[in-house]
Every structure is written in structure tokens, then in C-alpha cells.
Structure 1
């Protein structure tokens, strides 16, 4: 399986000094979820496919369009704002938000909730994996 964490894992093995506990938690969480998604039948994950899904607009029942970027931005290092509630959403890039992608239960919850709200359905294993490698690549 190829994914953008290779350089990070290599650095982890070499003992690079920039490692943090939150990075290790993010790496473990993402690695576990990617393994689960592959067991569920997903193929190789793609940063490009994740980016395309992140930027794609999906029609809603009322004719409006929704996309991940509507709330989260194209620049993952910036905070976003929920289009309906106006609530601030912390940056998605793990290097801008050390808590991002660190808690397994939270990642599962938000992927489920946001896929349903944005796409109008639950994301499949391939889509979830592609999104995770895209978000992880934005270090």
C-alpha cells in the first residue's frame, strides 16, 4: 500500500527530532483506519482522488451545492466556518491543528457525519481512505 505517510514512517524509524506525540497518534489512527478500509475492499488510496473528492460539489435536495471546501477551505491550514451554523471549524491540516486525526472515534464520527451531510450518503471505504491520505499529506 502506498500512502503519503511513508516519509513520516521512515523518519519515525530513523528517529527524526521533529516527532511529537500528537503526530504519532495521528499516524497510528490513520494507519489503523486505512488498514480497516482495505480489509473492507478498498484499493490503493490516492492523494489525488482524495483532493478531487474534497473539492467536488454535490447537489442537495433543495438544488444547492455542498462541498468539503465550503466549510473547510481549499487551504487546509486555515480555520473554516460551517456554512449553516456559522461555527468556526479548526484547521484540517495536522501541522496546523495538532489534534487533527489523532482520535479514532472522532475521525470515524466526523467522516460519517460529514459524508452524509456533504455527499448525501455515507462515504465508502475507498473514499474515506482517499480523504485520509489527502488530509495526512497536508503536513
Structure 2
């Protein structure tokens, strides 16, 4: 009986969608706001995203280096790989997987800013992207 139950559970897991959707932009914003102790500011998120920064890698001075100034449009890595739009309205898969959000904030904030983004900065950027 245990073997049968295990087999059923394994098959049920195999039938689950491959895309993890454990969150939403609103949930992410709320979590980052709670961590920061302040409300998200979409205008500050836009300013951070569009600004050129000197603390990171010289070849990536801005988020727009790869993502373009319009997050509703696709971008391109420096290696030429296509990047899907960041704005959730243009790409329904964006901001739905906490692990991916954290992974890419980690990589991109360090590349552009030369440091991790704060919880407030993350809330601000997602609030701006969700407003588009």
C-alpha cells in the first residue's frame, strides 16, 4: 500500500506545472515594504531603474543597459541573449516566482549598483514595474 501511495504522489507531482508561481507583484511589494518598514514609492523605483550608477560594473551602469528604458519591451544581455519584458502587464510570468525574483535582484543589483538592493529599493522597483 505504501508503494502504491508513493507512486501516486510521484505521478501527481510529475503532472504539476513546471512553472513555479508562488507569489505576485502585490505580495512581493508587501513583503519588501514590511522588511523595509516603509511604503513602496513607484517614482523612486523608476528613478533607480533609469539612472546611471557608478558603483557596479562599468559595462552595466544602468538597469536599462540590458532591459531598455521601457520595461514593457524586451531587452538583451551584453552577450546577445534576449530578455523578456520586465513589466508584469507585458509578461505575466514576471514577479510570480520568489526564487527567481531574488536571484535576479541579487545578480543585477550587484552588477549595476555594486551591492545588494535594499528591501525598499526592491519594493520601489516592483511597484513601478507593476504600475506600467
Instruction: Please give the range of the TM-score, normalised by the shorter of the 2 chains.
Output: 0.7 to 0.9
Following the alignment from structure 1 to structure 2, what is the Cα–Cα distance between the partners of residues 65 and 76? Answer: 16
Question: Corresponding residue for 2:41?
Answer: 46
TM-score (norm 1): 0.71
Question: How does 1:96-107 map onto structure 2 within 5 Å?
Answer: 96-107=90-101
Does residue 34 in structure 1 map to residue 26 in structure 2? no
Considering only CA atoms, is the larger Rg found in Structure 1 or Structure 2? 2
Taking a change above 3 Å as real, the CA distance of residues 57 and 71 of structure 1, as seen in their structure-2 partners, is same
Q: Can you give the 5+ residue segments of structure 1 that lack an aligned partner in the other structure?
A: 1-24
Offset, 1:39:
2.9
Question: Corresponding residue for 2:124?
Answer: 130
Offset, 1:65:
5.6
Taking a change above 3 Å as real, the CA distance of residues 65 and 107 of structure 1, as seen in their structure-2 partners, is closer
Aligned structure 1 segments of 4 or more residues deviating by more than 6 angstroms = none
> SS at 2:36's partner residue?
coil
Aligned residues: 112
* Conserved? CA contact 2:56–2:110, under 8 Å: no
> SS at 1:101's partner residue?
coil
Offset, 1:120:
0.6
Following the alignment from structure 2 to structure 1, what is the Cα–Cα distance between the partners of residues 57 and 64? Answer: 19
Q: CA RMSD in A?
A: 2.1
Does residue 119 in structure 1 map to residue 116 in structure 2? no
Question: How does 1:87-102 map onto structure 2 within 5 Å?
Answer: 87-102=81-96
Does residue 55 in structure 1 map to residue 79 in structure 2? no
Following the alignment from structure 1 to structure 2, what is the Cα–Cα distance between the partners of residues 61 and 34? Answer: 25
